[in-house]
């Protein structure tokens, strides 16, 4: 890949080191991204192992923090990547924006809808920065998954969904379940798209939602919503 040199000097913030974050971080490291900031506040539990496949039984036994276990697993496989574990639960777009400053890319893969909007808001807020970051916001449940690529201009996550759903309406993988390989595939595909966006290559997820449903992949181009605050941001 011609862009491997610039990827090697890129930094990506990964928010959520679970079912999507693990394959995403693995993919970004395999693609040659130079620096990964891993952010999560959980420890590895036995019920994570079916889908968060870089964690080991010994991580469960030691109640190791996910960010440390993931950094260890990636360091063993990719000696060249710099790993920055941040064990914290992010709250609101302010925290996220602070971590994102100076990064080139953001991969959001938590099961918290609020954080998806916070991630989008932080990307929009940094559109005026010298080197605005790009991001991919991913979700998966059951046998379905989707991810949205948010560019330096064009539609944001709020153009797609107006606001987070009420907490009671949210089914998370803790209660609704997820087929392990589905999480792995969606997380890896989301990160693959982020690599392409970072390299300035065209990608199916650029300003669009890519969905995996019933074994099929499709793509919905997202227009900028007329009343979305992102209209006034940046340039």
By CB under 8 A, name the binding residues for other proteins: 1, 4, 23, 26-27, 30-32, 46-47, 49-54, 56-58, 60-61, 63, 76-80, 142-143, 173-182, 184-185, 188-189, 191-192, 195-196, 201-204, 206, 210, 214-219
Neighbours of 188 (CB within 10 A): 18
Min dist CB 5 to other proteins, Å, is 8
Nearer to other proteins, 75 or 233 (CB): 75
Nearer to other proteins, 67 or 188 (CB): 188
Min dist CB 72 to other proteins, Å, is 12
Nearer to other proteins, 128 or 223 (CB): 223
Pick the closest to residue 121 from 64, 70, 163 (CA basis).
163
The sign of the dihedral angle between the CA atoms of 111, 112, 113, 119 is negative
Query: What are phi and psi for residue 84, nearest 5 degrees?
Result: -120, 95
Please tell me the distance from the alpha carbon of residue 116 to that of residue 1, in angstroms, as a whole number: 30
Nearer to other proteins, 181 or 229 (CB): 181
Q: What is the DSSP string of 159-196?
A: HHSSSPPPGGGPPPHHHH-B-HHHHHHHHHHHHHHHHH
Nearer to other proteins, 37 or 195 (CB): 195
Nearer to other proteins, 93 or 146 (CB): 146
* Residue partners of 230: CB distance under 8 A and separation at least 6: 120, 124, 155, 156, 158, 159, 224
Min dist CB 128 to other proteins, Å, is 26
Min dist CB 60 to other proteins, Å, is 5
Nearer to other proteins, 204 or 225 (CB): 204
Residue with tokens 């539609």: 155
Min dist CB 93 to other proteins, Å, is 28
3-state secondary structure of 64: coil
What the block records as the tokens of 46 is 């036995």
| Side-by-side strand order, sheet with 216-221 | 82-87, 35-40, 11-15, 105-108, 134-141, 144-150, 208-213, 216-221
Min dist CB 209 to other proteins, Å, is 11
Min dist CB 194 to other proteins, Å, is 9
Neighbours of 9 (CB within 10 A): 10
């Amino acid at each position: 890949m011609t862009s491997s040199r610039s990827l090697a000097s890129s930094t990506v913030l990964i928010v959520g080191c679970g079912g999507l974050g693990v394959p995403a971080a693995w993919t970004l490291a395999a693609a040659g991204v130079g620096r990964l900031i891993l952010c999560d506040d959980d420890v590895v539990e036995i019920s994570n192992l079916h889908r968060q496949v870089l964690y080991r039984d010994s991580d469960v036994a030691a109640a190791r923090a996910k960010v440390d276990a993931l950094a260890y697993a990636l360091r063993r496989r990719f000696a060249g990547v710099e790993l920055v574990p941040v064990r914290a639960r992010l709250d609101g777009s302010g925290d996220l924006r602070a971590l994102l400053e100076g990064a080139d890319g953001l991969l959001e893969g938590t099961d918290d809808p609020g954080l998806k909007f916070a991630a989008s808001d932080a990307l929009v807020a940094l559109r005026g920065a010298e080197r605005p970051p790009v991001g991919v916001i991913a979700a998966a449940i059951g046998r379905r998954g989707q991810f949205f690529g948010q560019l330096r201009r064009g539609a944001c996550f709020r153009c797609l969904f107006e606001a987070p759903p009420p907490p009671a309406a949210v089914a998370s993988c803790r209660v609704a379940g997820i087929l392990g390989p589905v999480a792995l595939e969606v997380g890896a595909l989301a990160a693959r798209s982020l690599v392409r966006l970072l390299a300035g290559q065209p990608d199916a997820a650029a300003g669009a939602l890519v969905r995996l449903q019933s074994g099929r992949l499709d793509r919905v181009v997202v227009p900028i919503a007329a009343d979305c605050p992102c209209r006034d941001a940046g340039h």
